[in-house]
Amino acid sequence: MDDPAEALKGLRDSLRSAIGDADEYTFQLSSVLDVIGLGPMSAPSSGNDRTIQRFLPSVQQGLLSTIPTFLPALDQRGRKLLDSFFCPTPSASTAPLARQVALAAYLTLTAALAPAPPTPLPMEAREFVLDTLASLAQAYSIDALYWATHGRDPTPLLWEDGVRVSTSLPSKVANAVGRWKEGGWAGDVPAVLVPRAYFDNYVRRLEGLLYEVSQNSLDLASLREVLEKLGRLGLFSIAPATEIDTPTPSFFPAFLPSALEHLHPPPGSPLPPYPDSFFPDLLLPLSDANLKAFVAGLLVHLASRISPPFTTPMAADRPIESVKRAALVMNQIIGKPDTGSDAWRAVVDALLSKSVSAEGTMDVMRRIAAAWAGSGSTAAKHAFLDAILEAWCDPKHIKYASYAAQYSEFFPSHLD
């Protein structure tokens, strides 16, 4: 049987009926993998994307139902064959097909985590599902899902599904494990699926994808969709980047190191930098709330990389190099300070935000913002200062700023 669709349908039907023993089970798995192009000895196959999308999910559901019977009996080779239907070993020759399999697996396995899945998940399959999702998160993150849906035959609806399941995976896993534990299950969430670890890896892979796309002049709307989702999840947090032990996921600690390296490749590097307009084109169309959160988070995390306090006042003829570099990064990521632009308003809002309580961090933020505004036209500089002064002179701002100062001075010494 050399037709991939027929091979997958045949395996699906066999799984629904009865397979005699583990040897027959592994033989059927191996035969189908050879036909679809994922077997150890099979030639790479192309053009099977639609076949995988149509028939593989039902095969994966059937395989989950057989795990209580056959998983304990599988040797190392048999386990690898089973894994290949969910998370194939990454390989350059089979990458396009493997990404399709991984995308289908994300959808199948996350559906199995639901309180009442369409196909009930056997208790014995829970650990397999979690281990496989952990492997998928490491081997096939958002970059793999992007290329699975933006290849020769783009599938925007599947991309939306991929973004949805990949960004919600940690919460779905945590909810499922919580329910299972209430029923006496003794397992736990894999370390790589804990929110902080998961999103650190996710954001690093996303930055690599952004860089790859930036060098190929591809459409940015799909990538913006991921950022919008991460923003709604609260990842554009202004929590300081130095808080490495916090379990709360945050976008910038994972994003900035590699993004800065790609913005400013080291001398002699063969890699080109991000194109000048890439990040402004990507970020400025974000929703108003997400753009403001992104800019505020960016300012805080850039400020956290600079050590206050400063012993000298700001002076035009004595720029602080670290602040100057941070302002350059602001220019490259959100663009120039054009009066009234979305970026301009977002920076003003960040400076007026009450969310940053550390005065040292706020001091550095002000210096970075002033240096960024200073890189614009004279009119932009004056308008920027006018906007800040107008807000600071507002009676309500003065009143509540005074209360905030009294609060920060009084309570730390009176709470013991």
Got the DSSP string for 181-244? HHTT------GGGSHHHHHHHHHHHHHHHHHHHHTTT--SHHHHHHHHHHHHTT-S--S-TT-T
135 is written with which tokens?
């492997």
pLDDT value of residue 8: 96
Q: Sorting pLDDT into bands at 50, 70 and 90, what band is 408?
A: very low
- Residue pLDDT, tens place only, 238-258: 765 445 567 789 999 999 999
Percent of the chain surpassing pLDDT 70:
86
At 195-250, the pLDDT tens digits run: 999 999 999 999 999 999 999 988 899 999 999 999 999 999 876 544 556 778 99
Rounded CA-CA distance 102/110 in Å is 12
Q: Give the C-alpha separation, 58 to 40, whole Å.
A: 23
Distance from CA of residue 99 to its chain's centroid?
Answer: 17
- What ranges in 353-413 are assigned the alpha helix state H? 359-374, 378-392, 395-410
Distance CA 342, CA 5 (A): 50
29, 82 contact by CB (below 8 A): yes
Other Cβ atoms less than 10 A from the Cβ of 412: the count is: 9
Angle, CA 365 vertex, CA 362 and CA 369 arms, to 5°? 140
Of 54, 72, 70, 52, nearest to 14 (Cα)? Answer: 70
Q: Looking at beta carbons, which pairs linking 309-318 to residues 24 or more positions away fall under 8 Å? A: 309/360, 309/363, 310/363, 310/367, 314/367, 314/370, 316/374
- pLDDT grade for 399, boundaries at 50, 70 and 90: low
Instruction: Answer whether residue 102 shows pLDDT above 50.
Output: yes
pLDDT at position 10 = 95
Whether residue 410 is predicted with pLDDT greater than 50 in this model: the reply is: no
- Residue 170 is which amino acid? P
User: Helix or strand or coil: residue 409?
Assistant: helix
What CATH number was assigned to the domain covering residues 1-189? 1.25.10
Of residues 410 and 394, more confidently modeled: 394
Q: Please tell me what DSSP assigns to residue 73.
A: G
Q: Bigger pLDDT: 387 or 222?
A: 222
Region at 191 (left for phi over 0; alpha for psi -120 to 50; beta for the rest): alpha
- Kindly list the distances between the CA atom of residue 204 and the CA atoms of 39, 62, 138, 255, 257, in Å, as whole numbers in the listed order: 30, 34, 11, 6, 9
pTM: 0.90
User: Residues with Cβ < 8 Å from 394, sequence gap 6 or more?
Assistant: none
